[in-house]
Structure 1
Amino acid sequence: MQNVVTSGVFELDGGQWDVDNNVWLIGDDSEVLVIDAAHDAAKIAEAVGDRTVRAIVCTHAHNDHVNAAPELAERTGAPILLHPDDRVLWNLTHSDRAPDADLSDGQVLTIGGTDLTVLHTPGHAPGAVCLYAPQLGVVFTGDTLFHGGPGATGRSYSDYPTIVRSIRERLFTLPDATTVNTGHGESTTIGTEKANSAGWAD
């Protein structure tokens, strides 16, 4: 498991924000999955090295998580995977290039002997997913859950009650010791965020 931090601009609803994104590489010495190809395909490809990229997995389709995906796919030959409910957001950034395959709730992706289960967790975006790797004790949450609480829901195609329900029903049922690797910022644990969630509105 490897973390690559890339920097760029998040754009939605006419606004722009400078952001640092966590790109996660999961696999072994010969093959990897890339989770969220953000901003800088060259930097991600350099981190991949001579390993084979089996897939570029999008936790959701906000531009800062997918803007480097087509270029990385072209460099590596890897397919881009996205939940179909997020095509409306994908098309805002890549109207001329569709994802290659759909992600679905409960789907299992296997890479380097590690299984990652797709959990559909709408709220931050309609097709947002998290990827749970029980063998590693890790869940990759994109922008659904952060150190400090739920992802933002103040912009188009997002909904606060939906994200809270997704976190409580899909993520807080995971073991408390599970590490939460996020789309931005530092990691946390399920237990930490659960303990601090009492004040969340439903």
Structure 2
Amino acid sequence: MSGLRIDRVVTSGTFSLDGGTWDVDNNVWLIGDDSEVVVVDAAHTAAPIVDAVGGRRVVAIVCTHGHDDHVTVAPELAAALDAPVYLHPADDMLWEQTHAGTSHLALEDGQRIAVAGTDILALHTPGHSPGSTCLYLPEAGELCTGDTLFAGGPGATGRSFSDFGTIIDSITARLFALPAETRVRTGHGDGTTIGSEAPHLEEWIARGH
């Protein structure tokens, strides 16, 4: 794990659901070393992601959830990088809205993906979407949360297939059980730590964020 690094690529495009469309910037995370890498999310545009991979072997393309801005170019990346795409099956209906008839592999709770001498552990954290999954690197103290947890609060739950009570339960049971120093790499915007967010749980519940 000595050569492990996590690189960020920011891509821009739109997110569409329930008849609305919004402009968004997405974080794409590349977890690996000089020889192999896992790509976290497949947002908007393939070329900058392929450039960041830089010829390394891609172990997997893992989508934290099925919203279109996180899976936009997943099949294109899979073909370009000769790598499998993983998504939790509870988000298959969202995947079908973007990539009807295109297959992917099932990402299961507790699944481990080995890369660069360490393991990435899949933690199913429904709420923002039914299949939302965070990716935890226990040895490195790193967590990719997709749109489940941000700096300042939980992900949005005001649209189809989302639920505020469920995301609070997921964050409380799965994420706030991790060490406080765990670094959080989010699907949009700046990162944070578990210790920075955990004290604000009651505020979020009161707000019904």
TM-score interval for Structure 1 and Structure 2 normalised by the shorter chain: over 0.9
The CA deviation at 1:200 is 2.5
Instruction: Give the distance between the partners of 2:195 and 2:108, measured in 1 at CA.
Output: 26
Structure 2 partner of 1:153? 157
| TM-score, L = length of structure 1 | 0.98
3-state SS of paired residue (1:196): helix
Partner AA of 2:200 in structure 1: N
Asked if structure 2 preserves the Cα contact closer than 8 Å seen for 1:58 and 1:81, the reply is: yes
The CA deviation at 1:199 is 1.5
Percent of aligned pairs with the same amino acid: 61
Structure 2 partner of 1:37? 42
Q: 2:178 aligns with which of 174, 182, 186?
A: 174
3-state SS of paired residue (1:8): strand
The CA deviation at 1:194 is 0.3
Structure 2 partner of 1:49? 54
Structure 2 partner of 1:7? 12
Instruction: Give the distance between the partners of 1:47 and 1:116, measured in 2 at CA.
Output: 20
3-state SS of paired residue (1:124): coil
Gaps of 5+ in 1: none
The CA deviation at 1:175 is 0.3
Structure 2 partner of 1:120? 124
Structure 1 partner of 2:3? none
Instruction: Give the distance between the partners of 1:94 and 1:44, measured in 2 at CA.
Output: 19
Q: 1:89 aligns with which of 81, 89, 94?
A: 94
Question: Is residue 138 of structure 1 aligned with residue 146 of structure 2?
Answer: no
Asked if structure 2 preserves the Cα contact closer than 8 Å seen for 1:2 and 1:26, the reply is: yes
Instruction: Give the distance between the partners of 2:44 and 2:118, measured in 1 at CA.
Output: 26
The Cα RMSD (Å) is 0.9
Gaps of 5+ in 2: 1-5
Aligned length: 201
Instruction: Give the distance between the partners of 2:163 and 2:204, measured in 1 at CA.
Output: 14
